[in-house]
Copies of this chain bind each other. A is one copy, B any other.
């Protein structure tokens, strides 16, 4: 099969990889209908994270079950399925508490590389959620978003306790931040402040429910959030970047007793204990337990209530993955969808 392999910074190739097989009786093999490029894939692409050997890429996927291991009971050949970027048994105590991304048997799908024609899915009964019926092409795009960016934005909004009566600020205007806006809106937030200085992203944020746009960043951005909230700060802040500046911006924009939901993968972040202590905020985040939200998200997508797929503003065949990476790196695209020939 064909699959995306990163050989080093800015060196992405689509090449022949071994077809995946059933290795464990709890595995499934799926034909990937669509995969995509994640903001976090840019860390190694840009050389921030080291690439020490040719690395299969991608951790987002939707597709059709092609083969199943002997022990599977929840999925069958032909099912259209969605999974998250961590495989999980969905039965351990941590999974049952809703933290499937930290399942005691958690397995990172990125290690298998989902930007490919086929994919082995471990613990498929726990990992995969079957889509009822056959999704149309627009629904496929939203289901693919649910695999990571929608699920992650949703988790961030839940972690930030977005809800009725709340003012929610969103730091980061990538796909996760934009879908955090959508999630906050769906969760009933009264006011949603998107922090963005890009007209196209501002437009999508407004379409997803943003009531205010703040273009300033850092301390100036915090100042604007304070001005918009009677000097108190937002009740809820979604952090979807992962840098020192964005984390401090999120913490400082939150009122005492408010909630920060942070999902940007931390890179060289050090949180000053004393400032955090006196801020009085709640801090929760990490790798989103997307699996927790998948059943509800799939239901909303299949009833056309959530157009999460609108974050994909560039669609390419898998064979042109390298151009997809370039487009995201150069911020010509928010989020790139890669279609296989299975699609």
Q: Which residues of A contact B (CB under 8 A)?
A: 93-94, 97-99, 101-102, 104, 230-232, 242, 244, 247, 255-257, 262, 265-274, 276-287, 289
Contacts and interface: CB of A to CB of B under 8 A. Distances in A.
Contact of A97 (B257, B272, B273, B274): B257
Nearest to A235: B97
A95 to B, nearest CB: 10
Contacts of A262: 277
A286 B289 CA distance: 27
A280 B232 contact: no
A272 B273 contact: no
21 contacts: A93-B232, A94-B232, A97-B257, A99-B256, A101-B280, A102-B257, A102-B280, A104-B232, A242-B273, A265-B277, A268-B273, A269-B272, A269-B273, A269-B277, A270-B272, A271-B271, A276-B286, A279-B286, A281-B286, A282-B282, A283-B284
Nearest to A270: B270
Contacts of A282: 282-284
Contacts of A280: 99, 101-102, 285-287
A104 B233 CA distance: 12
A332 to B, nearest CB: 28
Given A104-B232, A247-B273, 11 more contacts: A94-B256, A99-B257, A102-B256, A102-B257, A269-B274, A270-B271, A277-B287, A280-B286, A280-B287, A282-B284, A283-B283
A281 to B, nearest CB: 8
Contact of A271 (B242, B257, B273, B278): B273
Contacts of A286: 256, 276-281
Contact of A273 (B102, B256, B270, B279): B270
A49 to B, nearest CB: 11
Contact of A257 (B94, B232, B242, B270): B94
A104 to B, nearest CB: 7
Nearest to A255: B94
A257 B98 contact: yes
Nearest to A285: B277
